[in-house]
Homo-oligomer: A and B are copies of this chain.
């Protein structure tokens, strides 16, 4: 089982590096709704710095996942939207997000148990 794919191959490492960073997935998911302008995006995300939004968008653009469109109007206007390629990525990413939500209780649980196991497991009553 699980034969037939390499998770260690460069391709996987590559996409994992992109998708595993702090903001990329978030941006992708927000752009799933349609094109957005830079500052709209920034507001939608909420905790991101201008610098990181720029870097994240550049990364996604570079990988062909996002398309950047500049309208040379007087206050400049730039739209970002998912490319078709970017939209296909949406599916495995959504899978992962759904896994996260379904199994979150398990994970939390495991973490609590792990923590309990680490500490001397609660002095019983007396001491």
Chain B hits for A15, CB < 8 A: 96, 99-100, 103-104, 107
Q: How far is the CA of A45 from the CA of B13 in the complex (A)?
A: 13
Q: Is the CB of B103 within 8 A of A32?
A: no
Q: Is A74 among interface residues, defined by CB-CB distance under 8 A?
A: no
Pairwise interchain contact B64-A106, C-beta atoms closer than 8 A: yes
- Give CA–CA (A88, B98) in the complex, Å: 12
Complex contacts, A12 vs chain B, CB 8 Å:
25, 96-97, 100-101
Docked pose: A12 CA to B23 CA in angstroms: 12
Inter-subunit contact A104/B7 (CB<8 Å): no
Contacts A2-B33, A16-B25 hold; do A97 and B7 have CB atoms under 8 A apart?
Answer: yes
Contacts of A7 in B (CB 8 A): 25-26, 28-29, 93-94, 97
- Does A97 contact B5, Cβ atoms closer than 8 Å? yes
